[in-house]
Every structure is written in C-alpha cells, then in structure tokens.
Structure 1
Amino acid sequence: MKRRGLALLLLALAQPALAERISIPFAPPINRDFVYRIEQYRPVAGKVSLFSATRALRFERTGDGYILVATLRAIDSDAPAAGVEPYRAALGPLVGIEMRFRLDGRGRIVALDDLDAVWVRVRAGVDAMLASFAPDSDRYRAAQKVQTLFAGLSPNGRLALLAGELQPLFLFAGSQVEDGAGRGLRTMAGSPLGRPMPVEGALTVAGKGADALDMEEKLAGEGVQVAIRYHLSRATGLVESQQRSLAVGAQALTEKRSLTLAP
C-alpha cells in the first residue's frame, strides 16, 4: 500500500504543471482621446521605405458594449511613386471620415453605424482620385485597382476592410492567455512581401507586471519567419504597443503600432 502511494506521488510530480490562464478584461477608457499610429518599413524599388498612418480614437459606452469613434487623420510615405500610389489610393479616400464602430462587451467589432453612407463617401473619394489622374499614369492604374476591389465587396467585406487596421488593438480583449509553455498557433503570413504561406509557432507570455503583460509570438514556415511582441494593458485589455518583423526569403518588413493618449 505504501509503495502504491509512493508511485502515485511520483507520477503526480512527474506530470507537467497546468499552465496558468490569465484573464484579460475589456474595459477601454471612456470619452478620452487617443492617437493610434502605425509605422511600417518595407523594401520598395531596392530601398527600405516608410509607410505611416495616424488615427484619432475615442471610446464611448453604449448598452452592453462600446462605440469606437475612429478617424484616419493622416497617411504618409517616402516610397517611390510606383510603391506609394497603391497605398495612397487605398487609404487616401478614408482620410477625414469619422467612423463609429460598435463593439460588444468582449471587444469584438460587430457593426459600423451608417455603413452604407460611409461606403458612399469612400467610393466617392476613389472616383474623385480617378478623375484627377491621367489615364496612362501609375496613379490612375493604382486607383482603378482599388475601385475594382471596393466594387466587389459584400457588406461584411466592407466592414472587415474598414475595421482591419483596428482589430490588432483587441486581439486579447475579453479572453484568456496561457502562461508557461504558451499556446500553439497556425496562420498565414507573407503579404505584402510575397504570397501568403502557412506558418506555425507559439504565443507566450514574455513578461508579467501588475498593470501589463508582454506577449511574444514566433512563427515560421517555408521561407517565412514572423516575430511579434505585444504590450498589453491588464486594466483595459488593449494592445498599447506592437512590434512585428516579417522575413520572406531575403526581404524583410518591420512594423510598429502605438496607442497613446492625445496631447
């Protein structure tokens, strides 16, 4: 009997400890103005170029969820014309348009107020760009591709496109993350440096504090390497900063995102 008890004890000690699950809230600060800035550095025509976008954000409470008021304030790039025109054609029509996204209590974007009216303004911006460009120019061809893309989107596709750059803020909101060995991941990566390829790896907690978590994601696939570091508020559930590096063969991209209170 003693031997059996000892064997059970040794077996229990040999088992890996269950990973701690850390609950992440979703409690964004209400009626405060934020600046959300994205800077991306990637190769264009043989040199590394900067692409940046700055948005004004504000959260409002409504019922069981929230409204995120988001306005793209500015875009910029030092890339050569051939590289920058698709960027300006895609984002230029969005500058200055206030959008009111509806989020549920877990931080999921579920709707956009007046989606049809917003989309009319976006399409009008693309049409205006086309009318101002010479038909044989790179600008015209870039805007024409964006116009074709926009024309084929369903309502859900429109919402996904308009909300796409905001989604990383809420990656962990209203969920749990695993400490210790972390959680295995599988996804697609490669764009905009190449064709998306399957990658896999793990998401781990790299640092814990009373107010914040540092999360680290490392993924790899055939010719593709991805590393992402997140700084996450344990009070709000928002990703306050994010750094990503993507390597596809010999090409590399780095990206920085930051959420700060407006001055």
Structure 2
Amino acid sequence: MIGAALLLLALEPPPAPPPPASLAVAPLRFAPPVGEPMTYRVTSRRRARDGSMASYTLVYALQWERAGRGVQLAATLRRIESDARPELVQALTGLLRPLIGQTISYLVAADGGRVDMIDPDAQWARVLGKVQSMGAGAGQGEAKQVAGLLASLPPAERDKLATADIRALVAPANPALADGASDLKVEQAGNRRTITRIERPAAAGGPDARPPIEIATSWTIDTATGLILGERRATWVAGENGSERRLVEERIRDLAAGDPR
C-alpha cells in the first residue's frame, strides 16, 4: 500500500524480494470475504543504536467487493502506531498524515494471481499532491524528499511498490510463494497452511566482514480464501564471542476479521 511504501522509503530502501518458494501440498483458491470488513496491520521493527527495538505499525481497514470477473479491494489507512521515541514518531506520523483516511483501490484478478491499482495515475496524483502540499506548508524536508523519490520512480516501479503489501496478502500473487524452489517446510492442518523458510546468506570476508545473519520467514495461509493471515520475517545476527544471536529487524503482517479498533 502507499502508506507502507512511504514507510519503507522513510526508514530505508525496500529490500530485494526473496527468492521464489513453492505453494506445494494442495491447490489454493481465491475467495476473499466479499462485503465483510477486515483489519490489516503492517509492522516494521528495527534495532536502534542504543540497542532497543522500535516498531512502526500501519493499521488499514480493508473491504472486498466484486468487480466484473475479479475483485476490488479498498484499503484505507486508519492510523499509525509506534513505540519509538516521541520525536521519531512525530516525524513519521507527520510524513504519513496526509494518507490517513485516504482510500486506495486495487483490482485483483479472479484467481488472485494479479494485483493492480485502479486508475493509478489519478491515485498517485492525489497522494503526491497531498504529500507535497504538507511538505511545502510545514517546511518538512522529509516530506519533500519522499515526494521527490516517489515522483522520480518509473511508473512500473512506483506501482509495484504501492501494491507490495497487497501482493503479500494474496497468496497466489505473493512473489515469495511462486512455484519453483524447494527450500521450505510446509505443514497443513485443516484450512491452515504454514510455510517456513530459513535463509543463511553467505557472509563476505575480509576486513569489512560482518557477523553471519539468519533470516527466518513464516507464512500462515487460509486455503479456503487464498489470503495470508500472518507473515513474520525476522533477521538475526550471530553474537560475538559465543554470545546469543540478536534480532536486528522484523517485518510482521497480520490480517483479521472486523473493523480496526
């Protein structure tokens, strides 16, 4: 979503997409709960220089409706939650304030395999206009910088960034769950499918070598709807001199029934 895209740009550049995995075990259907409100929480947690973990959560209200042969999804950013230092929270909420209450509409293919913004030019013009106006009116350099970054992106990359959290929500469209690889553990219990993967990227040697890292990702999929109810991607760094490993960053996505409270 656009709010999550701005959050990524405000915190740091978005990471490269993970290698493809597999949706093995049983075929997925795409049947979202049309007409029923849902709450979608997208959380980013990072370790600060003082060793503490700071979290930022974007809380969205979702509504699915039929649209021809596909499904239309309306996503509205309701609020931002954070346990970071007050000055950091104020800077971030100020940056995203123009998006609170704004509805972004997406069209999802009937099989869930494709997600597109509806009338992206008009939606981007509205969002960029609000961010630029806020930056100019308040003299906020961060808002001007982010607006400039978004405006300079090629349309395809900008739309890809804005739909990333929706593609992560719809299992058939999720790039991390495409057919192909076998480095997974898959478990099925009723309509719940749990997929987990552990990655250990090779560490560079030499004087600038960094401690080894481990990336653990898990997805919980509702195979009756094709929606991902939960995702957690945690990055750990090996401890020095035999000390315990440390969590350095984490991304959590949660989907639940009902309006945000």
Whether the TM-score (by the shorter chain) exceeds 0.5 is yes
Partner of 1:230: 219
How far, CA to CA, are the matches of 1:38 and 1:109 in structure 2? 21
The answer on whether the counterparts of 1:26 and 1:173 sit within 8 Å (CA) in structure 2 is no
The answer on whether the counterparts of 1:107 and 1:173 sit within 8 Å (CA) in structure 2 is yes
What is the DSSP-based 3-state SS (H/G/I as helix, E as strand, rest coil) of the residue aligned with 2:111? Answer: coil
Partner of 2:156: 156
User: More strand by proportion, 1 or 2?
Assistant: 1
> Does 2:244 match 1:255?
no
The answer on whether the counterparts of 1:101 and 1:113 sit within 8 Å (CA) in structure 2 is yes
How far, CA to CA, are the matches of 2:43 and 2:230 in structure 1? 12
TM-score w.r.t. the length of structure 2 is 0.73
* CA 1:67–1:218: 2 relative to 1, 3 Å: same
The answer on whether the counterparts of 1:71 and 1:97 sit within 8 Å (CA) in structure 2 is yes
The answer on whether the counterparts of 2:168 and 2:174 sit within 8 Å (CA) in structure 1 is no
Partner of 2:17: none
Q: Deviations over 1:152-189 (max 9, x none)?
A: 123322322221222211234699x89xxx933xxxxx
Compute the displacement of 1:90 (Å).
5.7
- State the one-letter code of the partner of 1:236: T
* Highest RCO, 1 vs 2 (Cα 8 Å, sep ≥ 6): 2
Partner of 1:26: 30
Compute the displacement of 1:20 (Å).
6.5
What is the DSSP-based 3-state SS (H/G/I as helix, E as strand, rest coil) of the residue aligned with 1:167? Answer: helix
- State the one-letter code of the partner of 2:255: L
* CA 1:173–1:26: 2 relative to 1, 3 Å: farther
What is the DSSP-based 3-state SS (H/G/I as helix, E as strand, rest coil) of the residue aligned with 1:183? Answer: coil
Aligned length: 218
Compute the displacement of 1:110 (Å).
3.8
| Alignment equivalent of 1:215, drawn from 184, 195, 202 | 195
* CA 1:173–1:78: 2 relative to 1, 3 Å: same
- Could you tell me which runs of 5 or more consecutive residues in structure 1 were left unpaired when the two chains were aligned: 1-18, 135-139, 185-201
Partner of 2:146: 146
TM-score w.r.t. the length of structure 1 is 0.72
> Quick check: which has more Rg, 1 or 2?
1
Compute the displacement of 1:115 (Å).
1.8
How far, CA to CA, are the matches of 2:46 and 2:63 in structure 1? 30
- State the one-letter code of the partner of 2:185: T
Deviates more, 1:213-222 or 1:240-249: 240-249
Note the 1:1-263 alignment, pairs <5 A. Answer: 21-46=25-50, 47-80=52-85, 83-84=88-89, 87-88=92-93, 91-134=96-139, 140-172=140-172, 183-184=181-182, 202-205=183-186, 207-221=187-201, 222=203, 223-248=212-237, 252-262=248-258
How far, CA to CA, are the matches of 1:141 and 1:48 in structure 2? 25
- State the one-letter code of the partner of 1:145: Q
What is the DSSP-based 3-state SS (H/G/I as helix, E as strand, rest coil) of the residue aligned with 2:165? Answer: coil
How far, CA to CA, are the matches of 1:124 and 1:174 in structure 2? 30
* CA 1:70–1:119: 2 relative to 1, 3 Å: same
How far, CA to CA, are the matches of 2:150 and 2:24 in structure 1? 44
- State the one-letter code of the partner of 1:204: K
How far, CA to CA, are the matches of 1:172 and 1:108 in structure 2? 5
Compute the displacement of 1:225 (Å).
1.6
